[in-house]
Chain A
Amino acid sequence: MNLLPLVWAGVWRRPWRTSFTAASIAVAFLLVGLLQGVNAGFEQTIAAARRDLLTTDARVRGSPPMPISMRDDIARVPGVAQIAPRAYFVGIFRPPYDIPAIATEPAAFFSLRPTLTVEPGHIDAIQATRTGLLATPALLRMYELEIGDKITLRSRERRLDGSSDWPFDIVGTFDSVNDPNTAVLAVINYAYFDESRAANRGTVERFYLRIADPRKSVATAAAIDALFANSSHETRTRSDQERAEADTKQLGDIAFFTNAILGAVLFALLFLTANAMRQSIHERLGEFAVLKALGFRDSTVFGLALAEALVLYVAGAVAGLALAAALAPLADEVTGAIRVSREVVLRAIGLAALLAAASVALPSLRLYRLSVAGALANH
């Protein structure tokens, strides 16, 4: 026997109550979608970060740069497969904007930074040109430059000859996967930069490295840091994943914050829906008694009530989650990471089913205890 028409009729018994309840559920699940999306966004950033890519920095931030000679020591640590140095150069092309540039060995650097995309030809070009410079499309657009241009950047970093003008040739472009078309960044040859600068020659700010076995990231990092323990350049080596996790924790305890809000929201929602279900069942006790008198089992009558709640909850949740997915790009600008992923949606719908069951649990106790004669007599 098809019970669906019965469920449907029950849902629309009081159209205004159904609409308001469904709307409350939708709003609550809009928040579930957004806040869980924020949690998922940060988790995703951490999970996507690689464990086989490591960085070695000075142990304490703000310390003087490390000597480039450390590169050979690090490369000899078992498991280290590839290494690239990084120094930082800030040039001014047209005031007041700064052009930040990474001075490195481009071929190794790009293979160690999978979040940067570059055409192989452009790597060859900068390797072949000592004064070569690769720029992001956003940078080129910002200063109306194109590949082939020769530019002179002024910098606080003086050259050996005392001048502060640094000539470069733009030989190609690269872009960031995370901020395509908006990241403003350049890459230059470490060799050219280091030979020409007056101060801090032979130093780097960071080493990027790859290890052969991602499972050994912690042990390898510890081995590298042990090399320089108690030296004048103590280091701190972390995998990209560890760094992403630390950056997230810096923001404060996001999970606690979002869970506290969701707790308040879901409690209020459960109360509201349980009350609506109680009323709805209460008003129809007579009808339920008739169903029982006709031979419907207790469990079928309970199933009808549960099905009504499920219809309300799942419809509301789907509407709310759809809205959350639509609003996600807007929220992303505020929080920097949000992902209304399939997992978030599935978990939320599971939660909706659970809440639906909870909201009918108490009221339907009455259905079980319902005495047919009594209920029919009262109505």
Chain B
Amino acid sequence: MRSLRHTVAVTTFGLRSIPRRPGNSLVIVIGIAGVVAVLTSVLAMSVGFQRTVSGAARPDRAIVLTTGAESESSSTLSREQVRTFETAPGVAQDPDGKPLVSAEVLLVAPVSRKHNAADAYITLRGVGEQLFRVRPEIELVAGRMFEPGLREVIVGQAAQTQFAGLELGSLLRLHDGDWTIVGVFAGGDNVRESEVMADAQTVLSSYKLDAFNSATVLLDGPSALSRFDQALQREPALNVKVYAEPAYVAMVSRPTHRLLRIVAFAIGGIMSIGALFGALNTMYSALIARTTEIATLRAIGFGSASVIASILIEALLLALAGACIGIAIAYAAFNGRAISTLGGARWDSQVVYALTITPGLVALAIGLACGIGLLGALFPALRAARVSVADALRMS
């Protein structure tokens, strides 16, 4: 109990002296704020990307690809293949008994970025007539649906925010001429919002193609997946592989996600080491400034433990202040900011997503800041507790 009171007393003493040495204390705060701001921002990219890519994935939806294909764009499904698995058990049906399957073809549409007019490609997805039943999260928010047979497309809201020339009524230049944007769709946290969609049959005939890339299938509940899969595997000639949608998005987003995390932790790690040296500097300086004071306290009976604890607590509080500033900067500058990078449904197409700072990221940043603060204060604290009182008093 006494040592606790002592610790509180020494700590208060130390904290009161911070205003007398603002430069030193700010070094630790600013150093940690920098690390936290950078780490949080880069990880917010990774979280935002992950959310967008997997946001709308449902376990009762399946993606069908050719065997061996690792993404939609490297898969080829013929009309016969689609007809065969459309009628397989497990596939949900609309009230008229038609299977809820959207066979899709993926191409790219050339656009230019709004902020620097640079060329980019977004995914052009030819979709089946059951689109809105297979993906109920997608809804038209402006204009109307495209008419099959006409050169018409609908465009995602997120794509509109990043790329020029995608307004309602604009013309989109595809290889055989201009296609009119007749509608705008929204779909929550969804990678589809970075795309433009058109009727699959119209796209196939205008690009003179005869095969789809993939098919999205709505199932009779999540448990129907294995039934559907087994039925397809029983037909060796079919040569397709079925993925539950969550598993599929996890597979295709892994490389980008991994890259962002490596970059975040490599840069954050290096910056942390730099901030650690800054913290060491701060705490050693604080110690020197307080040599006489600490020696006096120990001379009148305060224990080493209280002195060590007080230095650790001081560093911790400064680190926390730094973490809060860093998070605030990252939050104000980037949270919710939409960006686009490679990572769309095709290897060369863009995906639009918003940087997202989650409570988990905040906790991680605070944990890291506390770690840096504690580690930076540990050695100075141990030294302060070891210096002989007589020496310290004489030195001053």
Contacts and interface: CB of A to CB of B under 8 A. Distances in A.
Contact of B274 (A61, A62, A249, A265): A265
A251 B341 contact: yes
A275 B279 CA distance: 12
Interface of B: 23-24, 26-27, 30-31, 33-34, 37-38, 41, 68, 107-110, 113, 116, 118-121, 173-176, 207-208, 259, 262-263, 266-267, 270-271, 273-275, 277-278, 280-281, 284-285, 339-342, 348, 350
Max chain B CB contacts within 10 Å: which of A34, A268, A271? A268
A246 B118 contact: yes
B176 A24 contact: no
Given A17-B281, A64-B207, A252 B175 contact: no
Contacts of A28: 274
Contacts of A246: 118-119
Question: Which applies to chain A's interface (DSSP): helix, strand, loop or mixed?
Answer: helix
Interface string A1-42: 000000000000000110011011001101100110000000
Contacts of B173: 59-60
B267 to A, nearest CB: 6
A234 B30 CA distance: 56
B329 to A, nearest CB: 9
Given A17-B281, A60-B173, A268-B34, A252 B274 contact: no
Contacts of B119: 246, 249-250
B121 A272 contact: no
B118 A249 contact: yes
A62 B110 CA distance: 11
A204 to B, nearest CB: 16
A271 B174 contact: no
B13 to A, nearest CB: 21
19 contacts: A21-B281, A27-B270, A27-B274, A58-B175, A59-B175, A60-B173, A64-B207, A249-B119, A249-B120, A250-B119, A250-B121, A250-B342, A264-B38, A268-B274, A268-B278, A271-B27, A271-B30, A279-B24, A331-B266
Contacts of B120: 249-250
Contacts of A253: 116
B26 A271 contact: yes
A331 B33 CA distance: 25
B270 A30 contact: yes
B108 A272 contact: no
A64 B176 CA distance: 10
Contacts of A16: 280, 284
Contacts of B263: 334-335
B271 A265 contact: yes
Contacts of A21: 277, 281
Contacts of B284: 16-17, 20
A24 B274 contact: yes
Contacts of A264: 34, 37-38
Interface string A249-265: 11111000000110011
Given A23-B277, A246-B119, A60 B30 contact: no
A96 B107 contact: no
Given A20-B280, A234-B175, A267-B34, 14 more contacts: A27-B270, A30-B270, A60-B174, A61-B108, A62-B108, A63-B176, A63-B207, A246-B119, A250-B348, A250-B350, A261-B38, A261-B267, A264-B34, A275-B27
The 6 closest A-B CB pairs, nearest first, are: A63-B175, A27-B274, A60-B175, A268-B34, A62-B107, A252-B341
A278 interface: yes
A135 interface: no
Most buried by B among A234, A275, A279: A275
A296 B275 CA distance: 37
